[in-house]
Amino acid sequence: MKITNITSYVTDSIGHNIIFVKTETDEGLTGWGEAYCVRPDLGVAATIDYLKDWLIDQDPRNIESLWAEMYQGLRFPPGSIGLAAISSIEHTLWDISAQALGLPVHKMLGGNVRDKIRVYQGVHGNTPEKTAEHAQQLIEKYGYTGLKMSPYPPEPDKQLWNVVLRDGPRFIEAVRDAVGDDIDIGLDAHAKIFEPIRALELADAMAPYKPYFFEEPIRPENIQAMAYLRRKMTIPLATGECLYTKFQFNELMQAQAADIIQPDVCICGGLMEMRKIAAIAEGHDVMVAPHNPMGPIATAINVHFAAATYNFSILEFVPHDEGRRSEFVREPWVPKDGYLDIPDKPGWGIEVNESALSKYPYQAYRRGNPRRSDGSPAFI
């Protein structure tokens, strides 16, 4: 079997683009993947097209070899644009390889360690009451047992720090009162706090409401600062969406700087690389809760990963049954009682609606995310 073509589709999903990738073979098998939205998305598409020339006429089942060829060939090492491109192409190789064997991908990863995948969704609102109402609506609609929210009041960068410490906890208090104690609530600070001591103050203020984790309280580049914060916090510290490959995650684990890691399969290097990252984490007693704000193919890949990964915890989820997202695959993902089913069809087990991918052309999104009507971010 040989690769004959690789094509990318940069599709506007409202708030950010989704980059879908298709790899074709001379035996008629087609594989699908998805790249992360790094903002210069046309740069990712151009890199995919550049890498295509390296892979034409190669056997798509040699995943490890082709990954190394791309990663080492881009050199220095590749950053977000290069790794988004590599990750998306790597996804397509798994899809093709599993289809060639007539197996779902998770069976190629060692088989199931669970029979359904727990997911959570972010809740939003400009007031504690509206945030609590949104949480109740999501639980009623999808049956979630986990949610995620901001630890800040609206526009925290315009508030005095004491106001943030006072008003931020009112939001999680309202949500906790509304949903009860049997729902896990994660907090996502979006790395907006620079001083570890401030992050610790905010974590302490949130602790009475028993958060499931505190995600990226500070920027992830300073691993020693993250390790210091993790030793001081009484809430599990989560990080990883901005880290790439086993090399950066190994450094994070060596520093004992996280309780939960959140690699993104669309930029960390792909499915095989995320499995290696999870293995490193397992050796350090760390759980994996993948970052997943992208499209339905990314969700499919994460579901197969989660099905076969022992130290998986919970998967971030964005509904695919609403708006234009519902058009990208024939059967959009819909949680049942807060869980996703594991596909049993060959490959990713999904059918891509290719005509919809060209229906919504690329949009240039800049710093300062578009906002939803309730004031919440359109992309996380």
Q: Examine residue 366 and state whether it is found in any structural domain, yes or no.
A: no
Q: Please tell me whether residues 194 and 68 are part of one structural domain.
A: no
Which amino acid is it at 230? R
Q: Are 117 and 57 part of one and the same domain?
A: no
Q: Does residue 284 have an active-site annotation?
A: no
Q: Which domain holds residue 21?
A: 3-102
Is the pTM value of this prediction over 0.85? yes
Contacts of 172 (CB under 8 A, 6+ apart): 149, 151, 185, 187, 206, 209, 211
Calpha distance 269→77 (Å, rounded):
12
Identified catalytic residue from 184, 188, 259, 273:
188
Residue 258, in any domain of the structure: yes
> What are the respective helix, strand and coil percentages of the chain, to the nearest 5?
40, 15, 40
Residue 375 domain-assigned (yes or no): no
Q: Is 291 a catalytic residue?
A: yes
**Percent over 90 (pLDDT), the chain:** 91
My answer on whether 129 and 87 are in the same domain is no
Query: Which CATH number belongs to the domain containing residue 239 in this structure?
Result: 3.20.20.120
**Interval 115-135: pLDDT, tens:** 999 999 999 999 999 999 999
Shared domain for 173 and 204, answered yes or no, is yes
Asked if residue 135 and residue 26 are part of one domain, the reply reads no
Q: Indicate which residue of 215, 216, 259, 316 is catalytic.
A: 215
188 is catalytic: yes
pLDDT tens digit sequence for 259-303:
999 999 999 999 999 999 999 999 999 999 999 999 999 999 999
Give the pLDDT of residue 164.
95
Q: What is the pLDDT of residue 75?
A: 86
Q: What is the pLDDT of residue 374?
A: 44
- What pLDDT does 368 receive? 57
Number of domains in the chain: 2
237 shares a domain with 138: yes
Looking at the fold, whether 326 and 339 belong to one and the same domain comes out as yes
pLDDT of residue 14: 84
Residues 308 and 339 reside in one and the same domain: yes
pLDDT value of position 15? 85
Regarding whether 131 and 69 lie in a shared domain, the answer is: no
The residue type at 171: F
CATH, residue 15: 3.30.390.10
Same domain, 31 and 178: no
For residues 160 and 75, state if they share a domain.
no
Active site residue 190: yes
184, 241, 259, 273: the catalytic one is 241
- pLDDT single digits (tens) 14-44: 889 999 999 999 999 999 999 999 999 999 9
Q: For the sheet containing 17-25, what is the strand order?
A: 3-12, 17-25, 30-35
241 catalytically annotated: yes
Domain boundary pick from 102, 136, 152: 102
Choose, from 264, 304, 316, 320, the residue flagged as catalytic: 264
Looking from the CA of 25 toward its CB, the CA atoms found within 13 Å total 20
Q: Which residues of the chain have pLDDT under 50?
A: 371-376
